[in-house]
Structure 1
Amino acid sequence: MPSTALHPISRRALLGGLAATSALAVLHPFSARAAANQAHLRIMETTDLHVHVFPYDYYADKPNDTMGLARTASIIDAIRAEATNSILVDNGDFLQGNPMGDYIAYQRGMKEGDMHPIIAAMNVLGYDCGTLGNHEFNYGLDFLFNVTNGANFPLVCANLTKGTLAANPREDALFLKPYVILDRKVRDGSGQEHSIRIGLIGFVPPQIMTWDAKNLEGKANARDIVTAAEAWVPQMREEGADLVVALSHSGIGQQAYAENLENASIPLAAIDGIDAIVTGHSHLDFPGPKFEGVAGIDNAKGLISGKPGVMGGFWGSHLGLIDLLLERDGGQWRVVNSTSEARPIFRREEKKVIAEVGDKPEVLAAAEKDHEATLAYVRTPVGKTSAPLYSYFALVADDPSVQIVSQAQTWYIREMLKDTGYRDLPVLSAAAPFKAGGRGGAEYYTDVPAGDIAIKNVADLYLYPNTVQAVVITGEQVRNWLEMSAGIFDQIAPGSTDANLIDGDFPSYNFDVIDGVTYEIDLSQPAMFDKDGTVVNPETRRIRNLEFDGKPIDPAQKFVVATNNYRAGGGGNFPEIAADKVVFVAPDTNRDVIVRYIIEQETINPSADANWKFAPMENTSVVFDSGPKARQFLADVKAIAIEDAGDGSEGFARFRIRL
């Protein structure tokens, strides 16, 4: 059971308790300066842990200093010591998101009485309350509630119902309590203790009914977040809550209310009766630079619709902190001042990650056995590949490492959109090579041999923790997308001998190959766009013979294109590809989708289908560099003839293409 008191601490206890630590905690100004009728309450938040207990990247199979509840936990005691009174809450998405979560769900399982490692780790820390995130439903309702039965803290969710929505939200049959009211004691500035009733109410994005329809359809429903809050918050006040804190597993999106917003935290915070809000879901930190100039946000003061708010990163990267200065007025408490902070567990110096904290041993011990089992799991084959997966020629020919990403994305988006208004649109997929030499060096290539493929090999296929998104664009916009990608190539004069092919300043992750169409790239033409997306040659066209379904593409035809959140959100400055084109935001990372695709297929066939190639140029040859191991795959490239041209510089091998 959760403790029944906050964590008051005297100055003498503070000094004595921290004498052995490397750095003495300094009281927050609200604690240091509170008057006799004032009390400082610190709300500490974790969010989007996604089963990251250890500071370890299971995909790459190596430690990682940017993640892990064990790291976040190591600073909680000191952060509690900075405040006279504190509570600790979790904002959801704790159950799925890395191979440990998959191992428990798919391999070890959860029988009655079993303890999930993330819950075991959280139980160490004395959480006061938590809510659910959208990923809690990825393994089904039975699994979810088997896991949460082990929590020694209450979980609340006000908009998850067992069936159809009632006419009155207060009559909804909910899976969990909509809220809890904690009866606690707080110590004021004079050292006197007073009673306070802290209400905590939780919300999950209603999009779970789409994202996890197979697990929830006919079993559950989700009400609009704001509607649910408007019904339940007044009741919390009627029951005597002095303070109401919303646990919003919903991002900071638009200011204006619309029904069933996914990212509803701004209109939610605006509801009368809510005093503070912890947010998440978006994997960002607030206050922070990404929220400068957002309507409804005061980034400098950490306010959301005028209320104190925070978003504590993801994977344990930050501890979210809201500090409230409360004042007792006529027997009731009100917020008179606040500060917010997302405190990180690491910092970056140039390109290096520097850990700010160590591990809390008790948290590591709680999950140690399952961590070791997960390591064995990620090193175990989950499927097979019928051909090698390599990226040595990814910049000059259709490539198996890019091909398999597109196959997985297409498979996933078709499934996600099959019951939507976009189901009849053709699905294309855009994917780029991430490990393609360049500044990464002559060994910086994907190289997975044919045969067994393990989960950790997915890190070779997809380096970044992007999430899948889909955009709807026209045939003309598909062409311009490809024109932007084709900017990676230097212009080649006809008749040239061994001209340099690749522009080394153009990042390979912006060389998108679009699968589902066929096309040629005419290197004799100048690039239409520069690497920053600026039109430099408006009349030129490098993309030739662009066809869909064997016919010239219709410039006005609409297509769904599967991609990632970076590109769909405008990353790379691709023409007209931005958030206003997005029609689907997935709850899954591209990595997770690839893993699920491999499991589904059992044996994948990543052989490239040669859907793009260079347009012929008589008596012209070009050269490019790749890793020396590329030589063993020369015979596999069918679309063009690549020949060994000797050694390049800095350990690279050089290759020639006769156009």
Structure 2
Amino acid sequence: MPQDNSYPLTRRGFLAGAVSGTSLIALHPFSARAASNQAHLRIMETTDLHVHVFPYDYYSDKPVDTVGLARTAAIIEAIRAEATNALLIDNGDFLQGNPMGDYIAYERGMKDGDMHPVIQAMNTLGFDGSTLGNHEFNYGLDFLLKSVAGANFPVVSANVVKKLGASPREDETLLRPYVILDRMVTDGAGQSHPIRVGLIGFAPPQIMNWDRKHLEGNVNARDIVATAEAWVPQMLEEGCDLIVALNHSGIAGAEHVDGMENAAVPLARVTGIDAILTGHSHLVFPSPTFDGFAEVDVAAGTISGKPGVMGGFWGSHLGLIDLLLERDGNAWRVIGSTSEARPIYQRGEDRSITPLVDSVETVLASVSKEHDETLDYIRRAVGKTSAPLHSYFALVADDPSVQIVSIAQGWYIAEMMKGTPYEGLPILSAAAPFKAGGRGGPDYYTDVPAGDVAIKNVADLYLYPNTIRAVKVTGAQVRDWLERSAGIFNQITPGGADQVLINPDFPSYNFDVIDGVSYQIDLSQPSRYGPKGEDLNPGANRIVNLTLGGQPVDPAAEFIVATNNYRAGGGGDFPGAKGDTIVFEGPDTNRDIIVRYIHEQGTINPSADANWRFAPMPGTSVLFDTGPRAAGYIGDVKGVAIEAAGDGPDGFARFRITL
């Protein structure tokens, strides 16, 4: 395997002045107490950067204090100053994940010799190595290979292969499976000694499903643990003193299952691995999140007895493993370790954000041109919509702003289900309006006119960085899911005039509309569920005439429902979506999926199709309040008779629906 030339581990890529905003530097105990035959080594990890170099939210087009490699860079210098020896390693998912990544991939492109901005920023910081995450494959292999070609550091990946051999050692891997860094390390007495540090990388095998259109027929992905068991002995044979697993995979079950996505625990058990970097899950380790996980010790910062770390996502934290090494003859062994994840910001009890570091100007400068180009990109059209995207009537009629989310989710999940046991099942899509007035006020609505759609508009359509999920449910569960949603409406007395329609205690983000089926809501019936999902009226049925393709939905029939991680994991307490029906956990955010869909379609047609409406109640009318600008869209609303009814309170406009 290729090896790097020797040079000291101390202060590689050191950035003067980067500690602005940090606390005073304190020497780590390992550095203070290392003896003449001992050395303190700090392994710094970034993971899941997703092209976040600037502290900027491109979707909402404003600066933020919670993201950005330029902020993490300030901690990196502080860490280097605290230790005699240090390595800086990235754990994957750096090429995709925000509009800057989309701008480079979809518009500017990558030619031979071009430099990707996130690679340029990483070069500026002096990374020692990286591996591939699953999102590196989102734009295709050609884009990936041209991007990593600009790295001044090795990028390794052992389990993604161009040609499978009889065993992993006989594979033709896409990139080198591992690298051995020949370095000099300074011991406690100030003497320098050689050390051989091996880095081996892994990506989730699920890339073959997530990016099938790019990868099928071009590469294969092996099981993470089996691959490690084959390559790690070879690394030891080549004289590695220390082996670090760059594992773009999360911390989950201790039992090894072939092809598992989150394999950190069984991977750490592999003999020869001394430390493990984890990621992919967008979580922090060590943290209470992992209390009670088998073979995971949060207090010690270990996974299966090996030091491990997960440094958040988008540059939110710098993962840090401190190792106390002892020289035994001509070899080194680990005799002590600590682990932590240092944040770039602090969140107060009132949810306020306080930045803990300032951005490093040299890192900002390295991508300033691309940052400015990305701002231009998000502010101009990336597609067109044939209909306005507004949410003024999202709570009372099928709505275009919800429709486009449903369409994009369904489009994505249909592709993901190909080649799985669920291929062929009907695919439905559940989405809810996020901006629908309420406490947000009379201007808190999505309102994108027909015509050009810019990426920054997607934040209006989808407020949260949720990730895509799919659940498998029965027809009975689909009906109960809709019954839960229908709890947003008050019970209406037949024949009554101008009754209040919406229950203000019911949040709009729990009003799921399910696309792909047709149904009516009978407001004369009591709601089965309360605002928090409590079963108030068992047996109550507001959902009537539930059909698929014109035929009644069979309660025993099976369906795939596209949704998000919040809902699928039990958020809102919806029947059929309590964490036990998930059949697909995608790595992509719902916002990214909407952007991809718009890019691919060019012109989108999100016109509401009135797949749901209120059941007729002759002689009955209800009132609801929405934004004043809704008046301009009354004529576009399908399936419901709406008319203006004067002014509502607090700047809202009031409308009347005749049922």
**TM-score normalized with structure 1 length:** 0.95
Maintained 8 Å contact 1:47/1:312? yes
Aligned to 1:591, the other structure's residue is in SS state helix
Asked if structure 2 preserves the Cα contact closer than 8 Å seen for 1:2 and 1:127, the reply is no
Deviations 1:354-412 (A, max 9, x none): 22211111111111111111111122212211111000111111100001111111122
Displacement of 1:19 in angstroms is 10
Matched, 1:252 2:251: yes
Secondary structure of the residue aligned to 1:395 is coil
Distance 1:490 1:2 in 2: 72
Deviation of 1:3 after TM superposition, in Å, equals 7.4
Secondary structure (helix, strand or coil) at the match of 1:369 reads helix
Q: What is the CA–CA distance in structure 2 between the aligned matches of 1:270 and 1:643, rounded to whole Å? A: 67
Coordinate RMSD, CA, aligned? 2.1
Aligned residues: 654
Q: CA deviation at 1:648?
A: 2.1
Quote the residue 1:237 is aligned against. 236
Contact 2:197/2:240, CA 8 A, preserved across alignment: yes
- Please state if 1:5 is matched with 2:25: no
Residue 437 (structure 1) aligned with residue 418 (structure 2): no
Distance 1:626 1:195, change over 3 A: same
Unmatched segments (≥5 aa) in structure 2? none
Residue in 2 aligned with 1:32? Answer: 32
- In structure 2, the partner of 1:58 is 58
Alpha-carbon distance between aligned partners in 2 of 1:609 and 1:252, rounded to the nearest angstrom:
42
Partner residue, 1:345: 344
- The answer to whether the Cα contact below 8 Å between 2:286 and 2:340 also exists between their aligned partners in 1 is yes
Contact between 1:3 and 1:126, CA under 8 Å: does it hold in 2? no
Aligned-partner Cα distance in 2 for 1:496–1:43? 70
Equivalent in the alignment of 1:328: 327
Matched, 1:282 2:285: no
AA at the equivalent of 1:590: N
1:129 alignment partner in structure 2: 129
Aligned to 1:502: 502
Offset, 1:446: 0.4
2:145 maps to: 145
Q: Structure 1 residues 640 and 227 mapped into 2: Cα distance closer, same or farther (>3 Å)?
A: same
Q: Secondary structure at the match of 1:579?
A: coil
Preserved CA contact (<8 Å) 1:18 1:24:
no
Q: Does 2:200 match 1:197?
A: no
User: Which segment drifts farther, 253-262 or 639-648?
Assistant: 639-648
Could you tell me which residue of structure 1 aligns to residue 601 of structure 2?
A: 601
Q: CA deviation at 1:334?
A: 2.4
Match of 1:415? 415
Cα deviation for residue 417 of structure 1 reads 1.6
Residue 155 of structure 1: aligned partner:
155
8 A Cα contact 2:472 2:582, kept in partner? yes
Matching residue's letter, 1:549: G
Could you say if the C-alpha distance between residues 534 and 290 of structure 1 is closer, same or farther in structure 2, counting changes exceeding 3 Å?
A: farther
**Equivalent-residue separation in structure 1 for 2:17 and 2:509 (angstroms):** 50
Which deviates more from structure 2 when the two are superposed, residues 628-637 or residues 496-505? Answer: 496-505
Against the structure 1 CA distance between its residues 493 and 335, is the aligned structure 2 distance closer, same or farther, given a 3 Å change threshold?
Answer: farther
- 1:35 & 1:489 partners in 2: Cα distance? 71
2:206 pairs with 1:207? yes
SS at match of 1:45: strand
SS at 2:609's partner residue?
coil
Question: Does residue 1:554 correspond to 2:577, yes or no?
Answer: no
Secondary structure in 2 matching 1:538: coil
- Answer yes or no: is the 8 Å Cα contact 1:18–1:25 preserved in 2: no
Q: 1 CA distance for matches of 2:541 and 2:562?
A: 24
Residue 514 of structure 1 aligns with which residue? 514
In structure 2, the CA distance between the partners of 1:166 and 1:382, relative to structure 1 (3 Å rule), is same
Alpha-carbon distance in 1 for matches of 2:186, 2:216: 48
Provide the C-alpha distance between the structure 1 equivalents of 2:567 and 2:11, rounded to a whole number of angstroms.
48
Mapped partners of 2:576, 2:231: distance in 1: 42
C-alpha deviations, 1:170-208, integer Å up to 9, x for none?
111112221112222223333333332211110011111
Distance 1:612-1:8 versus aligned 2 partners, 3 A rule: closer
Match of 1:356 in 2: 356
Q: Which amino acid aligns with 1:54?
A: F
Task: Tell me the equivalent position of 2:658.
Answer: 658
- Output the CA distance in 2 between the equivalents of 1:392 and 1:19: 48
The alpha-carbon deviation at position 8 of structure 1 amounts to 6.6
TM-score for both structures, normalised by structure 2: 0.95
Q: Deviations over 1:442-466 (max 9, x none)?
A: 1111000011111211111111112
**1:475 & 1:81 partners in 2: Cα distance?**
61
Instruction: Give the letter aligned to residue 600 of structure 1.
Output: E
**Contact 1:8/1:186, CA 8 A, preserved across alignment:** no
Farther off after superposition, 138-147 or 85-94: 138-147
Percent sequence identity is: 69
C-alpha distance in structure 2 between counterparts of 1:545 and 1:509, whole Å: 24
**CA gap 1:301/1:526 in 2 versus in 1, 3 angstroms:** farther
Partner of residue 478, structure 2:
478
1:2–1:207 CA distance, 2 compared to 1 (3 A): farther
Shift of 1:32: 2.5
The answer to whether the 8 Å contact 2:161/2:220 transfers is yes
What CA distance in whole angstroms lies between the structure 2 residues aligned with 1:104 and 1:21?
31
Distance 1:17 1:186, change over 3 A: farther
Give the 3 Å change call, closer, same or farther, for CA 21–56 of structure 1 in structure 2. closer
1:487 equivalent in structure 2:
487
Q: d(CA) in 2 for partners of 1:472 and 1:590?
A: 19
Of 595-604 and 387-396, more deviation after overlay is shown by 595-604
1:94 shift after superposition:
0.7
Q: 1:563 is matched with which residue?
A: 563
- Aligned match of 2:388: 388
Matching residue's letter, 2:321: I
Give me the whole-angstrom Cα distance separating, in 1, the residues matched to 2:233 and 2:30: 28
Deviation, 1:351, is 2.9
Alignment partner of 1:539 is 2:542 = no
Q: Does 1:176 align with 2:178?
A: no
Paired with 2:288 and 2:396, the residues of 1 have a C-alpha distance of 38
Tell me by how many angstroms 1:624 deviates: 2.0
* 1:2–1:153 Cα contact (<8 Å) kept: no
- Higher mean alpha-carbon deviation, 304-313 vs 649-658, is at 649-658
